[in-house]
Amino acid sequence: MSKSALDDFQEQVSQLLIRHRSVLDVISKTQESTARVNRALTKAITECGCIEVIAKKQPYDVNKTLQENAANLDTHLTGRLCDHCQEVITAELGKNLFYLTALCNLTDLKLSNVLQSESQRLHTLGVYNLS
The pLDDT tens digits for 19-37 are 767 999 999 999 999 999 9
Q: Model-level pTM?
A: 0.83
Average pLDDT (105-121) is: 94
| Strand, helix or coil for residue 21 | coil
pLDDT given at position 130: 57
d(CA 104, CA 109): 5
Burial label, 128 (beta-carbon count in 10 A; 0-12, 13-18, 19+): exposed
CA–CA gap between residue 91 and residue 73 (Å, rounded): 29
pLDDT per residue over 54-77, tens digit each? 999 988 888 988 888 888 888 899
C-beta separation of 104 from 110 below 8 A: yes
| Residue 11, pLDDT score | 93
| Nearest to 2, CA basis, from 100, 116, 104 | 116
- Looking at domain 22-130, its CATH architecture is Orthogonal Bundle (1.10)
Q: Which residue has the higher pLDDT, 17 or 113?
A: 113
What is the reported pLDDT for 20? Answer: 67
